[in-house]
Amino acid sequence: MSPDILRNDMLAAAQAFGKTSRDMVYGEGPAGAALCLVGEAPGAEETRLSRPFVGKAGKNLDGFLAAIRLNRPDIYITNAVKFRPCMISPKGTVSNRPPNRAELECMQPLLLRELEMVSPRGVVTLGNVPLKCLLGAGAAIGALHAVPVEASALS
């Protein structure tokens, strides 16, 4: 499967939530990367630049990667949901919100296809949302912190 086909399928799924190609933030990094990091969803800065983990969380991630001597260009970085889930306050300001169940269920098969395409040796979930997206609603981050899970356990 080509990356273009997968991206088209991701966009088609996101359109069910009123998203357009300008809202999409696809994974980046080399196919065949040894390591894949999966976050929750892009924020405002990621959406503006169409790149994962370039906002505040991205700066933190870059610091952590440098501390353990990993190079970002060697890692595949993506999100469980490829568009920014947001809400509008009564004052009209836009802010991030966690992806809802429908968004996660819609994007989860596409995330699995993405991981299959990249074929990393290891996947690290960056938080509870991507963990549950990959392992199911019963997965608990506290119980699985630093515990290797076989690929066959992915939902």
Q: Which residue type is seen at 43?
A: G
Q: What range defines the domain where residue 91 resides? A: 3-153
CATH number for the domain including 136? 3.40.470.10
d(CA 54, CA 41): 12
SS (H, E, C) 3-43: HHHHHHHHHHHHHCCCCCHHHECCCECCCCCCEEEEECCCC
| pLDDT for the residue 68 | 96
pTM: 0.93
What average pLDDT does the chain have? 94
How is residue 49 annotated by DSSP? Answer: H
- Quote the number of domains for the chain: 1
Which residues have a Cβ under 8 Å from the Cβ of 16 and sit 6 or more positions away? 106
| pLDDT for the residue 14 | 97
Segment 119-137, tens digit of pLDDT? 999 999 999 999 999 998 8
Segment 78-103, tens digit of pLDDT? 999 999 999 998 999 999 999 999 99
